[in-house]
Structure 1
Amino acid sequence: MSPPSDVTDKDWEAAMADADADGGDAAAKGGDNEADAMAAEWEAMLGGADEDVGGMGGGGGRDSTRVLNQDEIDSLLGFDEAGDEGEQRSGIQAILNSALVSYERLPMLEVVFDRLVRMMTTSLRNFTSDNVEVSLDDILSQRFGDYLNSIPLPAMLTVFKAEEWDNYGLMTVDSSMIYSIVDVLLGGRRGTAAMRVEGRPYTTIERTLVERMIHVVLADLSAAFDPLSPVTFRFDRLETNPRFATISQPSNACVVARLRIDMEDRGGRLEILIPFATLEPVRELLLQMFMGEKFG
């Protein structure tokens, strides 16, 4: 196409440049409109998907989301407090404890520990020449691994062996009891609480004095079982690290007797752990009901 004769070349070039600019603007507007349409289409699709999910969830967006309260969580896990002791546990805890034998199924075991308390009261009075009161705080069934993790440190852990049963048990003496027995045996003043020193290992003197007390307790424990079945509990070793006092698999069930020893204004706790595997040779005897002739 040739320009008219009355139009100069410069005028023709300017007109063509304006036409190209108008075409570019139109194309840009068309592209913007197409992008807007695509964005609107995606938004509509996403909105529909959200509505479908809300409908499947029970009608409702955020309002349909329900959060469990603490009581419901405890009930689900089986940690809710039972109304009475005979009520069965539920949830995960019941599954975990399904193989855990309760000491209450062994009536004679509680009788043995009651006899031990009476004998220890007399023996420790003679051992310390002081007024000693021993009481049984609790008897419970617990897994060995859970017990080791619950021991408050520092403490002394005694591994002892039941010779006739060819198995082991564990005795734990807490820090308060250790310093109390050391204070009493070394002539500490009455009426003053035993000093507790942290941040250092137990000395040879402290370990020796506690070991002497442990021999007294083990002799009483043997005598407490004697009417039921003669057994000798022999001192094996003394540890301060629970990892070195492993006598059973972590998942094995054990019976734990918690004793409280008071010497006027001093004292502490002593715990005796016996795995059910150790008690297996006398299990049938422990299942019997109490007959008081032998245990008077």
Structure 2
Amino acid sequence: MADILSQNEVDTLLKALAAGDLSAEEVKVEETKKVKPYDFTRPSKFSKEQIRTIEMVHESFARGVSNYFSARLRSFVDITKASTDQITYNEFIRSISSPSFLFVFTAEELNGNVVIEINLKVIFAIIDKLLGGGGGLYQKIRPLTEIENSLMRNEIVRILSILKDSWSSIYSFTPNLVSIENNPQFVQVVPANEMVVVVTLDMKIGEIEGFMNVCWPSSLLEVIAPKLYAESYFKQEKQIKPGQLREDIISLLNNAKLDLHVVIGKTMINLSDLLNLEVGDVIMLQRHVDEPASLYVNGREKFLCSVGTHKGFNAVRITEVLNKEIDENGG
């Protein structure tokens, strides 16, 4: 489109026309049509509004996975949407390094399989945290062992459950894990030239950063396409019930690990006595034999208990609850 003339320019043209110095034909500006290049090898299957709806679903998914892993790993976990691209499946597979961590899932309600890829450095950080480590950077990138795959399988089930909840306002489905792979070349769920929508999520676990890629084949999304509109998403989005947020937080905290230890008694001795201790020496504690022992939860005395055995193991029986005023407030 031609540039918009200023008022002074319009007045000048009118004066020139009135004076006969300029003809009307000379004033006409021929508009040139702008041609937008179209790549037939990479056709856009979905509109901007549909892509935006997919992004909103995955933003909800990212928040859910962040909350889950934060509680599960007892560490700072931040997952955000990085980008959304429409590319061919071959381009997606070629962009993944080998080895990597990929898993494929499907559902009876979906027309095909979906691939999710997570960087191995993120996977190793998760496994290290699950096994009690610090979750530091793993220097050697290698395929996962059977034991490591088994550990991650449990986490995948939870991830798929969160993805199901994120999609529930648009399209309900029940995901089922198909396979776990380390080589992207072994994951051929659609033809190489089929268009896919790849949603990339940025993952941060402590100081470790990586990506999660969710690959949706266009043939699968075409079934859901009529519902991929923002008004449909907000119209069917579940309203948070009163107290629901508190219940969700409690549900996540219920999986947190707590350290328990029992103290049957305490005493004090001087250093010289400690250095002279030998096998067979008796140390008298400052607690009578028929007095209850103390059960500590994460370093805080919470219960009194009696000590005994159960099925061949040392065990304790709770006899009294301490700090009741804290327990009543959720402490």
Give the TM-score category using the shorter length: 0.5 to 0.7
Q: CA deviation at 1:126?
A: 2.6
Counterpart of 2:73 (choices 128, 150, 156) is 128
Q: CA deviation at 1:213?
A: 2.2
Gaps of 5+ in 1: 1-86
**Residues 154, 174 of structure 1: 8 Å contact kept:** no
Q: Higher strand share goes to which structure?
A: 2
TM superposition score normalised by structure 1? 0.63
Distance 1:174 1:289 in 2: 34
Counterpart of 1:194 (choices 133, 137, 140) is 137
**Residues 158, 172 of structure 1: 8 Å contact kept:** yes
1:19-58 map, 5 Å? none
Cα gap change, 1:112/1:232 in structure 2, threshold over 3 Å: closer, same or farther? Answer: same
Q: CA deviation at 1:186?
A: 1.1
Aligned alpha-carbon RMSD (Å):
2.2
In structure 2, the residue matched to 1:118 is 63
Q: Per-residue CA shift, 1:132-154, capped at 9, x if unaligned? A: 11111111111101110110222
Q: Identify the structure with bigger relative contact order (alpha carbons < 8 Å, sequence gap 6+).
A: 1
Q: CA deviation at 1:235?
A: 0.8
1:131-146 map, 5 Å? 131-146=76-91
**Residues 103, 141 of structure 1: 8 Å contact kept:** no
1:268-279 map, 5 Å? 268-279=210-221
Distance 2:72 2:111 in 1: 29
Q: Secondary structure of 2:97's partner?
A: coil
TM superposition score normalised by structure 2? 0.57
Q: CA deviation at 1:95?
A: 3.2
Q: Per-residue CA shift, 1:221-273, capped at 9, x if unaligned? A: 11111111211111110011222210001111111111122122124211110
Distance 2:72 2:109 in 1: 27
Q: CA deviation at 1:166?
A: 3.7
Distance 1:123 1:171 in 2: 17
Q: Secondary structure of 1:95's partner?
A: coil
Aligned identity (percent) is 21
Gaps of 5+ in 2: 1-33, 240-331
In structure 2, the residue matched to 1:160 is 105
* Deviates further, 235-244 or 203-212: 203-212
In structure 2, the residue matched to 1:95 is 40
Distance 1:164 1:290 in 2: 19
In structure 1, the residue matched to 2:329 is none
Counterpart residue identity of residue 245, structure 1: V
Cα gap change, 1:88/1:109 in structure 2, threshold over 3 Å: closer, same or farther? Answer: farther
**Residues 158, 236 of structure 1: 8 Å contact kept:** yes
Aligned length: 204
* Deviates further, 114-123 or 104-113: 104-113
Q: Higher helix share goes to which structure?
A: 1
Counterpart residue identity of residue 116, structure 2: M
Q: CA deviation at 1:156?
A: 1.2
Q: CA deviation at 1:290?
A: 5.6
